[in-house]
Amino acid sequence: MRHFLSLSLFLHFSLSSSAQQFTSPYRLSATVDIPLSSCSALLLLSSYGVGTTWKIPPKETLLTLEVDNINKFDRSAIHQYSKTCAYISDATVYASLLLPLIELGNRNSRNDFGKIATMSAETFVLNLAITDMFKETIRRKRPLLYDPDIPVDKKV
């Protein structure tokens, strides 16, 4: 991860230092960004609303889940839980929120940091909204719920 970040920074600075006259490629438009942001926020709030209608199944129900009742294409995912991979996944998501800060290192893009931050926020919110809406509307149990090695409290 450290090597990837170093390489990204090196490429960013080397490519940006060769530019003689800088023309900003970033544009914000009220006719695009306001509806996009509004729809993304509405979708995110809607997914939250749908998620609050779900009732968590009792622990007894989770203990009685049978591997034979799961789709064949999901069976390979049953025994894939890893605390290390879950930590790496979470750390990657949180680190991606900081990626727009890399632009502060480039002299030319410092003036556009507000635009870059706005577009990044729009992207993150839209991605989260779409992901959460799919998670909340598709009624299907996650394959890891069938793994007997995972504690019930973690499943809930």
Whole-prediction pTM: 0.69
Determine the Cα–Cα distance for residues 92 and 83; give it in Å rounded to an integer: 14
Q: What integer pLDDT is reported at residue 156 of this predicted model?
A: 75
Is residue 10 assigned to a domain?
no
In the chain, % helix, strand, coil (3-state, to 5) comes to 70, 0, 30
Beta strand extents in the chain (DSSP E only): none
Is the pLDDT confidence value at 78 over 80?
Answer: yes
Range of the domain at 89: 33-155
Is residue 130 assigned to a domain?
yes
Determine the Cα–Cα distance for residues 79 and 125; give it in Å rounded to an integer: 31
Query: Which helix (H) or strand (E) is 149 found in, with range?
Result: none
Structure tokens at 102: 């890399």
Q: What integer pLDDT is reported at residue 37 of this predicted model?
A: 92
Task: Kindly tell me the burial class for residue 124, based on how many C-beta atoms sit within 10 Å of its own C-beta (0-12, 13-18, 19 or more).
Answer: middle
Number of domains observed in the structure of the chain: 1
Is the pLDDT confidence value at 93 over 80?
Answer: yes
Predicted confidence band of residue 23 (pLDDT cuts 50, 70, 90): confident
Predicted confidence band of residue 54 (pLDDT cuts 50, 70, 90): confident
Region 30-45: what's the mean pLDDT? 93
